[in-house]
Structure 1
């Protein structure tokens, strides 16, 4: 399970949107913890790189 933070080289780094499955979703937000579909916070299954029922790939 991914944490909301990544521990690397003894430093705490927050999980970023680019690290999640929703990095190219049209509902994404600049904040990794929320999006248009999950305004109160993304569930653990999304943070853990599992599927998101609201995922819609953003068109170029």
Structure 2
């Protein structure tokens, strides 16, 4: 994410991720708080991300 953020410094970035616990660690939350232009969107728990693509 640091590389992507540096590549696009003047844009809001929206990232779709699954609900894996590594995406919600305190370290990740702190980094996202320090980089408010980067937003994580989580796929629903118990649902395939493909279901959301089809919508």
Of Structure 1 and Structure 2, the greater strand share is in 2
Per the shorter chain, which TM-score range? under 0.3
Of Structure 1 and Structure 2, the greater helix share is in 2
Q: Which has the higher contact order (CA 8 A, sep 6+)?
A: 2
| TM-score normalized with structure 2 length | 0.27
| TM-score normalized with structure 1 length | 0.26
